[in-house]
Amino acid sequence: MAIDVVRELVGYSHATQQLHTVHHPSVNAKHRAISTYTSDLLRSLPVWRLVASYFPIKLYRTTPLPPTQRYIFGYHPHGILSHGAFTAFATESLGFSHLFPGLENSLLTLDSNFRIPIYRDYLTLLGMNSVSRSSCEEILTPSNTNSPGRSITIVIGGARESLEAKPGSMRLVLRDRKGFAKLAIRTGATLVPVLGFGENELYTMTADLDPETKTWSGRVQRTFKRVFGLTVPFLYSRGPYKWGFGAIPHRRPVNIVVGRPIPVARMEGEVDGGYLDEVHGRYIEELERIWEEWRGVFAAGAGDIQII
């Protein structure tokens, strides 16, 4: 089956308040011509643009998304703290509403975060919701909302993937994660893969503490993840001064590319396993396409993408 090649991305600049285009190097010059209490004020505070400009972080779309549909954005990779996902989908610092007008989107996080007083109110005002199955279905089910463009963003790799956040690599915990695809089939939502180039570059994982090795630290990390559902990656980053040592993320660019939508046929009742595998496979193919087409622009020198 022939696959159309995407040769340009569209981003939004707060400085000029206009959309702008980034062209693929192969293009010749002649061809270039449930949160119900979301606070738009909080999402649009100038401080978020300062956060985005620190790295900097930029958001690009491959193609416009009609607001008449519902979408499940799958963000990859998780990185250490998912700075890219938060900045792009929980704030307006990267111009989400300008790139995707009419879409109301919720970034999803652990349900346990909504059990903390005050913090849960802060998350709610940012439009964030729980990643629990009931929450996802309530947001995406047509009968439960009047907005046809209601969508969610899930960092699919989760805590497990944070242990793979090694600079220079793109290892995605995705091969056996099909719950998001099953959710799309049950609700009829369109899947949209999102790849954050540079997310893994913001912190440095200590090499000899690699969880894949037989070290005591690797066993500690895996055990902690199994028992508490959280990870404690051993890492370091920059300090408050130029040559300092600390936990402030490195000042390295993060370029977030929103891929092409993957239509999904709604299926009530038991989801067919064969169709689930087909949808999951198409999703992975789109992620691989994004990586192969744009790593020369945003991740020069990086190796191949790995699905684990």
DSSP line for the chain: ---PPP-EEEEEETTTTEEEEEE-TTS-GGG----S---HHHHT-HHHHHHHHHTTEEEEESS---TTS-EEEEEE--TTT-HHHHHHHSSSTT-HHHHSTT-EEEEEE-GGGGGSTTHHHHHHHTT-EE-SHHHHHHHH-GGG-S-TTEEEEEETTHHHHHTT--TT--EE--TT--HHHHHHHHHTPEEEEEEEETGGGSSEE-GGG-TTSS-HHHHHHHHHHHHHS-----EEEE-SSTT-EESBPP---EEEEE---B------SSPPHHHHHHHHHHHHHHHHHHHHHHHHHHSTT----EE-
Q: What is the pLDDT of residue 213?
A: 53
Count of other CB atoms within 10 angstroms of residue 1: 2
* Beta strand pairing call for 8-13 and 57-61: antiparallel
pLDDT tens string 255-305: 999 999 999 999 988 999 999 999 999 999 999 999 999 999 999 888 899
pLDDT of residue 28: 46
Give which of 200, 230, 90 is closest to 154, Cα–Cα.
90
Amino acid 101 reads P
Residue 28 and residue 26: Cα distance in Å, rounded?
6
> What is the pLDDT averaged over residues 151-164?
91
Contact 163, 308 (CB under 8 A): no
d(CA 200, CA 281): 24
Q: So where are the chain's domains?
A: 8-199+251-307, 204-248
pLDDT surpasses 50 at 143: yes
From the number of C-beta atoms within 10 Å of its C-beta (0-12, 13-18, 19+), residue 181 rates as buried
Higher pLDDT, 21 or 210: 21
Q: What is the pLDDT of residue 229?
A: 63
Predicted pLDDT of residue 221: 65
Residue 39: what pLDDT?
93
